Amino acid sequence: MNIRFFFLIHCLLLTFSSSCQKIGDNENILIVYLSRTNNTETLAKIIHSQVGGDIIALELQNPYPENYEAIVKQVSLELEKGFLPPLKTRIDRFEKYDLVFIGFPTWAMQLPPPVQSFLHQYDFTQKTIIPFNTNAGYGLGSSIDKIYELCPNSEIKKEFSMKGGKERDGIFLTIKGEKAKETEEKVKSWLFELGLNK
């Protein structure tokens, strides 16, 4: 009786363990992010500490201006015209990645043009995309819908989104100190729900 009981428990533990395995392995995971006030970058690094893989910041061939009003004006025009800014960032052997985390801030309640450039530039067919986001408190806007539109042949998992900086009001990096610790715990829970664990 005891032997059967322990055998049953052993089988259940094996089943649970296999269901919590990472999607793909570390070599097949890519974390790409766009960050201006370093909040999305901090979030990307927290995710990287949990799942491993490669982590890359998106950079433009022609960087955005430092002045907040100037960048707002430029981004508004780009979004209005559907302009895709050329990227300086190049990802070698993109085809080897099965799982791609994509991090971005919400800009004008939309997906930032550089992230749209990235999604246009590479083939995401049959890849798993996991979005993560920081925003000024107004949420994701239409950004997730845009990812679905640009990557119709991908599996898109539940996103992680949280309030970050508010550059307009001079509030920059906010994911630090106690908030960074709280964020790490929230990220761990989100990854666990996705079936990803360290």
Distance CA 15, CA 132 (A): 29
Please give the backbone phi and psi of residue 169, each rounded to the nearest 5 degrees, phi first.
Answer: -100, 10
pLDDT in tens, 118-175: 999 999 999 999 999 999 999 999 999 999 999 999 999 999 999 999 999 999 999 9
Tell me, what DSSP letter sits at residue 136? S
Residue 107, number of CB atoms within 10 A of its CB: 23
Is residue 116 scored above 60 in pLDDT? yes
* Residues found in the chain: 198
- What are the boundaries of each domain within the chain? 24-193
Task: Report the mean per-residue pLDDT for the chain.
Answer: 89
Given CATH 3.40.50.360, say whether it is the number of domain 24-193. yes
Q: How much is the average pLDDT of 4-21?
A: 38
Distance CA 25, CA 53 (A): 8
User: Taking CA 127 as the corner, what is the angle to CA 125 and CA 131, rounded to the nearest 5 degrees?
Assistant: 115
Percent of the chain with pLDDT over 90: 85
